[in-house]
């Protein structure tokens, strides 16, 4: 049965039960290596002349099911699964650059991506700089003769700033530069960057795609030619691959992505409106807020506003930490996209590696908090937030 609707493909794509003894749940091929019928068959597989599995660092049936499913969800030709989101980011960026190249980045990035970019510059002389990407002319002026990758987060972690992916991709194509988009905050249910022109999409699958806080994983999707090349180079040789069991957990988690994302979005919209009215809150950053500076862009490229809210507490870092310590239902943790509502303090946690001057330029103050809205009753989440805010 050939299906097109997202909600159906996240459950069925890439798996045929009757090919696996009728098992409704995909099997876990928990093996490191695979047996060849003959020596000649093994030689042909290594030469690429015969299809089949060789070794689970190269490919594995359970992982392959996941890769086919995420490719379908992002409307891409091929998917790759990695041992973590940062394994995906590092494999893609290293695979697309060489010494002397330049990476142009959105105005902010995840703290570990910032650390990777710093490492690449210090050790391999692959430079980078950050840019607002607010309009075509300024973007063109930021592209150098050595720019080989444009790397974008949208929404940006944790400021929620958006980048016009279609505009960036259109300009990049004039120069023949690939555009890589970290789509973790939206998931393919809310935003599909490949559909609006980008070349590679990356996910920390640990987050919304998993949804249950029990997997570390990364995924990338793009054209078959490019992803196949990266699979046989930076992925294979660096070795940051996903285990079959983690792939199985992700296949299970992704089945409920649409219904989970609807709940995340509904809860976040209600809570953002309430936070905005509380006297202890100075600034709420949420793409679904009509006063959000890029509200129209959010409506253009996202089907809903997502489940993340960033907001600033009135006062200072100590006040922000006091607020966090007063919470009971909401957990202090640095992930996102789980069933549980989580809160973290970016300047001392996820972005602590970023020098203070850079953090300020990115808009990450000591008063900024990032809330990952969970699946609990929104009334209970708000009761916890309100009680802690009132203590300020």
pLDDT given for residue 3 in this prediction? 55
DSSP state string for 126-186: -EEEEE---SHHHHHHH--TTEEEEEEESSPTTT-----HHHHHHHHHHHT--EEEE-TTT
Whether residue 2 has pLDDT greater than 70: no
Helix (H) or strand (E) holding 238: helix 236-238
* Span 6-57, pLDDT tens digits: 999 998 888 888 888 889 999 999 999 999 999 999 999 999 899 999 999 9
> What does the pLDDT average to over 178-183?
98
Extents of the domains making up the chain: 6-254, 258-390
* Span 182-225, pLDDT tens digits: 999 999 999 999 999 999 999 999 999 999 999 999 999 999 99
Q: Quote the CA–CA distance of 202 and 178 in Å, as a whole number.
A: 13
Q: Quote the percentage of the chain above a pLDDT of 90.
A: 94
Active centre residues (catalytic): 57, 110, 182, 207
Q: Which fold has domain 6-254?
A: 3.40.640
316 by DSSP, 3-state: which?
coil
Cβ partners under 8 Å of residue 30, min gap 6: 244, 245
Q: And the tokens for 81?
A: 């699964």
Architecture per CATH, 258-390:
Alpha-Beta Complex (3.90)
DSSP state for residue 231 in the 8-state scheme: I
Q: And the tokens for 251?
A: 């296949």
pTM of the full predicted structure? 0.95
């Amino acid at each position: 049965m050939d299906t097109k609707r997202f909600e159906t493909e996240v459950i069925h794509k890439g798996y045929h039960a009757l090919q696996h003894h009728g098992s409704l749940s995909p099997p876990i091929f928990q093996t490191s290596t695979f047996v060849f019928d003959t020596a000649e068959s093994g030689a042909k597989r290594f030469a690429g002349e015969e299809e089949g599995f060789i070794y689970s660092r190269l490919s594995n049936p359970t992982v392959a099911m996941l890769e086919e499913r995420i490719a379908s969800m992002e409307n891409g030709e091929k998917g790759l699964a990695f041992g973590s989101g940062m394994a995906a980011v590092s494999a893609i960026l290293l695979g697309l650059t060489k010494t002397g190249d330049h990476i142009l980045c959105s105005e902010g990035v995840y703290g570990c991506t910032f650390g990777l970019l710093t490492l690449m510059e210090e050790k391999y002389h692959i430079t980078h700089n950050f840019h607002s990407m607010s309009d075509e002319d300024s973007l063109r002026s930021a592209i150098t003769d050595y720019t080989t990758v444009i790397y974008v987060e949208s929404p940006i972690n944790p400021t929620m700033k958006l980048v016009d992916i279609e505009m960036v991709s259109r300009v990049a194509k004039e120069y023949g530069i690939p555009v890589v988009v970290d789509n973790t905050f939206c998931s393919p249910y809310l935003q599909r960057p490949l559909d609006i022109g980008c070349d590679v999409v990356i996910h920390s699958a640990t987050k919304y795609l998993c949804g249950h806080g029990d997997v570390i994983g990364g995924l990338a999707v793009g054209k078959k030619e490019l992803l196949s090349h990266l699979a046989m180079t930076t992925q294979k040789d660096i070795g940051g691959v996903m285990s079959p069991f983690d792939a199985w957990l992700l296949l299970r988690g992704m089945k409920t992505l649409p219904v989970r994302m609807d709940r995340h979005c509904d809860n976040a919209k209600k809570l953002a409106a309430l936070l905005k009215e509380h006297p202890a809150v100075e600034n709420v950053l949420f793409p679904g807020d009509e006063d959000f500076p890029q509200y129209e862009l959010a409506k253009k490229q996202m089907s809903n506003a997502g489940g993340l809210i960033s907001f600033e507490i009135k006062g200072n870092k100590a006040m922000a930490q006091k607020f966090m310590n007063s919470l009971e239902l909401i957990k202090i943790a640095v992930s996102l996209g789980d069933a549980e509502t989580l809160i973290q303090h970016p300047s001392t946690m996820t972005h602590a590696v970023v020098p203070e001057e850079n953090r300020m330029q990115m808009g990450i103050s000591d008063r900024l908090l990032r809330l990952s809205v969970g699946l609990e009753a929104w009334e209970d989440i708000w009761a916890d937030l309100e009680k802690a805010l009132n203590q300020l």
